[in-house]
Structure formats: C-alpha cells, structure tokens
Amino acid sequence: MKKILGDFLTKIYKQALLISQAGYRAVPSRIQRVGARVISIGNITWGGTGKTPLAVMLSRELAAGGKKVAILTRGYGDDEVKELKKKLPQVPVVVGRDRVKTAKEAIEKYGAQVLILDDGFQHIRLHRDLDVVNINSTLPFGPGGLIPVGTLREPIEHLSRGHIFVLTKSDIGSKNVHWIRQRLQAIKPNAVIFEARHRPTRLFDARHNQTLELQEIRGKKVAVISGIGDPYSFEKTVENLGAEIVLAARFDDHHRYTESELKRFGGQCGELGVKDIVTTEKDFFRLEGLLKNKKLEKLQALNFFVLQIEFEMNDEEDFIRRCLNS
C-alpha cells in the first residue's frame, strides 16, 4: 500500500512539474530578466551537494576580482544564511522566496553586477545567464527516483538545461566519477564538467573559542552529530582524518535540535566514554545556543569540535572565467 501511494504521489509531482515548466516554455515572457548577470547554483537532488560552499567560493573570487556580488537565497534554514554572512561579510545576502523581487532589491540597494542564485535550478521564473549544477559524486542521483519516493527533484534528462556540472566530493566518490561523466555526456554531449572536493582545513574548538590543527582528533574515539543532506561524506572525512567514530547521531537536513535530543546524545556519549564531539559548520549554528545551556550538564563535559572546510575545484581559474563569460 505504501509503495502504491508513493508511486501515485510521484506521478502527481511529475505532472505538476512538467505542466509548470511547459508554461514557461509556452510563454517565454513569463521569464523575467534583470540588469545583472545571474549565475544559478543548483542541483537535481535534495540536499548534500555542496551548493553553499560553492556559492561562498565563487562569490569570494568574483568579489576579489572587483565585481559587486550579491547572493540570493530562499533561506530554507537559518544555518545557511548565517554561514554565508559569516564567511562573506562584504557580500550582501538577500533572503526571500520571490527571486525576481530579491534580484531587483540586490541591484537597487547594493548595485550588484553579479547575482549568485543559491539553489536556483528549479526556479525558472528568473532568467539566468548560467546554470551551474552540482552533483554529489558519492550518491549522484539518489535512490528511488523522483520525490517523494526518491530524492530526484526532476527527471535526470532535465540536466540538459545545465551549462556547467560540478562533481562535488569527487575524492570520496572517486569510484563513481567516470560513469557520472558518461551519464552526463549521454544527456548533454558537450557537457562542461569540473570536479571538486570539500577539503578539511582546521577544527574550531567551540568550548575554548580557538582554532586547532586537524591532527587534534587523530587516533581519538569521537562521536559525530549532524543534520545535513549528506552525513556519509562528513563522517567519511572525519574518519579520513584518523579519528574512530563510535557514535553517529544523524538528523534531517536543517534539523532544529532540542534539549531532549542533546540530553540523550550527551548520555550516550557518557555511556561510551566519549568526550570529543565533531560536528559541521552548518550544524554549529543550530547547536551553539544549546551548548551553552547549563541544564544540559552532560554536554558541559564534552569537547565540541567544528570541522571547517574549503571548497576546492580542479581548474578553478577556468571555472571562474566561464562563470563570467559563458
């Protein structure tokens, strides 16, 4: 019965998607242009493809090159907005569901010349000059097909709309890279493909407000906690740094942690004799307030390390050039 219901809902979703997109093709004037270059960074699956790290890298490079850049985000979670603002203090981040409205605001208020449209592949109403599509190399097209049964937001064939494809986490998912390239080239023979990875750079010790070297967790037994789209890649990165994960607490993407959840997590760590916890930068924005909660006594004895990463791409110079000129 569950499968029948899932298949039925998937068909409804697909039909609604196709009708919506057909409407824009039938009436191109519905697609609105603005007075700035629009670069969309999106994906074809739910979460975990590295859109935010790529948006940070691209925005930073364009701003360093003298461009006035602004990021447009729908703001699914406060964590992403906070992360963008912290890492890019000089780049305006405009939040709102109406991308045309936020695009105009960024141009009028900040004089933006380049707009980075975060998670924009499915948002057709705003014309974009370049569609960059991230694909997670560890789980490229997700299990189960279209949502709600699977994680695909569109049929794979719709990748033909993309201009540039970035195979993220290509180090962890290296065994998949070749066939992903083949699949993309079958859909779009002239596909422009780059490879990228999330390179760990340092640890932030949240308890003592200091930065530590990555070897701090080497050889240690640790617990990890995350509410992100791809916990596997995060955990694999921690293991690659030489730590042994004895407890992995996984929550849904953008999960808002509660006192009871952290109390239970702290208790589990105590039972296992674990004192070192590793989490992600995105999760830290949602955990920070609770970590200071004196009621959570068992948490106070734990070390919380935030794994900081940089988005590293092969031939980054060519990618930036294409973003400005393609």
Residue 135 token pair: 């694909």
Contact yes or no for 90/122 (Cβ under 8 A): no
Same domain, 80 and 101: yes
Same domain, 177 and 230: no
Q: Please indicate, yes or no, if residue 192 is contained in any of the structural domains.
A: yes
Q: Please indicate, yes or no, if residue 17 is contained in any of the structural domains.
A: no
Is residue 63 classed as helix, strand or coil in its secondary structure?
helix
Same domain, 127 and 186: yes
In 10 A of CB 215, how many CB atoms? 10
Same domain, 124 and 255: no
Same domain, 248 and 115: no
Residue with tokens 């393609």: 326
Q: Please indicate, yes or no, if residue 11 is contained in any of the structural domains.
A: no
Query: Which residues have C-beta within 8 Å of that of residue 3, sequence separation ≥ 6?
Result: none
Contact yes or no for 292/114 (Cβ under 8 A): no
Domain count within the chain? 2
How high is the pLDDT of residue 291?
Answer: 86
Name the average pLDDT for the chain.
93
Same domain, 291 and 317: no
Residue 210 token pair: 């200091």
Question: Which positions of the chain have pLDDT values less than 70?
Answer: 77
How high is the pLDDT of residue 320?
Answer: 97
Same domain, 224 and 166: no
Residue with tokens 């030489």: 242
Contact yes or no for 282/79 (Cβ under 8 A): yes
Helix H, strand E, coil C: the string for 313-324 is ECCHHHHHHHHH
* DSSP annotation string for 147-162: TTTSSBSS-GGGGGG-
- For the question of whether the overall pTM of this predicted structure is more than 0.95, the answer is no
Range of the domain at 138: 30-147+156-198+311-325
How high is the pLDDT of residue 77?
Answer: 65
How high is the pLDDT of residue 296?
Answer: 78
Q: For the segment 28-50, what is each residue's pLDDT rounded down to a tens digit?
A: 889 999 999 999 999 999 888 99
Same domain, 50 and 194: yes
Q: Please indicate, yes or no, if residue 18 is contained in any of the structural domains.
A: no
- For 201, phi then psi, to 5°, come to -115, -40
Q: Please indicate, yes or no, if residue 13 is contained in any of the structural domains.
A: no
Task: Decide: residue 131, CB within 10 A, 0-12 exposed, 13-18 middle, 19+ buried.
Answer: buried
Q: Please indicate, yes or no, if residue 109 is contained in any of the structural domains.
A: yes
CATH number, residue 102? 3.40.50.300
Q: For the segment 106-149, what is each residue's pLDDT rounded down to a tens digit?
A: 999 999 999 999 999 999 999 999 999 999 999 999 887 898 98
Which amino acid type is present at position 213? E
Nearest to 279 by CA among 262, 297, 298: 262
How high is the pLDDT of residue 298?
Answer: 75
Q: For the segment 293-321, what is each residue's pLDDT rounded down to a tens digit?
A: 877 777 888 999 999 999 999 999 999 99
CATH number, residue 286? 3.40.50
Same domain, 263 and 127: no
Same domain, 39 and 121: yes
In 10 A of CB 132, how many CB atoms? 29
Q: Please indicate, yes or no, if residue 19 is contained in any of the structural domains.
A: no
Same domain, 320 and 178: yes
Same domain, 282 and 321: no
In 10 A of CB 270, how many CB atoms? 14
Is residue 227 classed as helix, strand or coil in its secondary structure?
coil
Q: Please indicate, yes or no, if residue 23 is contained in any of the structural domains.
A: no
